[in-house]
A and B are shown apart, each in its own frame.
Chain A
Amino acid sequence: MFMDEKGKLFGKVSIIDVLVVVVILAGIVGAVFAFGKINSGAVLTENKGIVRHDSTLDTLEVTMRLREVRSMTKDAIHIGDEVFAKDTGKYLGTVVSVTSEPAKKIISGFDGRSALATVPEKMDVLMVLHVDGKRTDGGFFTGNNIHLVYGSEMQIITPSIQSTPIIEQIKIVTEE
């Protein structure tokens, strides 16, 4: 008989025991599934605009300004370098252009004058990245849901440097 008078399946295994095992297995499967969804970016654990994992992504061109750095910093950034967010380690984008211009600082004199003075031996480095992302209702987001905000500072690392540049421009280069 399928279940005996003692509630055992085929007279061997208690139905309650079987149900407990099924619940545990269902919980594990559910956790793996949910973890996969979070990992792929389809679901965020925070309340922000979402780039769903099945969205087609555009190529964003993001210009970042590293302020008042020395030449050794610029020399350590190369086209093709991958850039990551320092706090999460998430991939941000790839460097496509590195240029520099003299660093400048506003100074004021005792006589009430002010001037935009060049900072000697320092430069601003303009680093342009290509980033897979999208503009959503909540703003620009990368494919793994890093929020890109004009004027914000972002701690980044590359294979050689760490820095906190300011996002100076975000534009869509190619649309999918």
Chain B
Amino acid sequence: MKEQSKYLEGVDKKDLFSSGHRACGGCGQALAARLVADAAGENTIACVATGCLEVFSSPYPDPSWRIPFLHSLFENAAAVASGVDAAYKALKKGPVNIIAQGGDGSTADIGFQSISGMFERGHNVLYVCYDNEAYMNTGVQRSSFTPYGARTTTTPTGNTTRKKNMPMLAADHGISYVATATVDDFRDLQMKIRKALTIEGPKYIHILAPCPLGWGHHGELTVEICRLAKDTGLFPIYEIVDGKVTNVRKIPVKVPVEEYLKPQGRFKHLFKKGVPSKVVDEIQEIANQNIERFNL
């Protein structure tokens, strides 16, 4: 094998989440799961909640995971991971990287109590949330991460509530490391995973993982959409270490939210006859608030 390209220094590619999974073409979550697994390395246990990730990656007899994998119910990935941590402590084994993973539904809605409990009890678990902003596995139903204005099957005229700010909720549990990331910047994402795994105690990483099917964009745009989400200010990239927001990614050139909304089918109703509705202005206001709040 040839030497690693100089452009890939500091990036892990170990194929611990391998080919043959049933995700749609261009799936952001499949990409994120692989980047997370490769960054965490072989000494890792994945506890994955029910959702797309579990469905497409683990059908018997050919799962994609090349690391130990535990499937749990929708609501209790964090609780199962807590149990794994407790078992390792009781058996005096380890150390091992325990990564609980779930979609936005299992993180923000159904599984919130178990996550909250895990944070509160202080288990040595990294919780990774793959945020695709709706219940994609069951057919694009609204979750509490669905952004304002987005159409889902349960909000056909556009979501009327704002997205729950999970990273801040996690940070307010008093845990020592919270970060946000997107799949387009794999260096940053893997760096955050590695950094989190060096910290003792509960950690939370929130990854924006576009869903071409649910968001209504072409699979090839997955990375581009992430980039636009960052550059519009709708998805700020930052870390919260011991309660303090640090390492905020500055936006090089600010982009109006329309550029982010237009390629996506779920925002198509905002541009009927090519005229942006006033919801677009309200979304721009959300982006502006983020820019102001995090000084992007």
Pairing of A with B: no
Q: Which residues of B contact A (CB under 8 A)?
A: none
Q: Which residues of A contact B (CB under 8 A)?
A: none
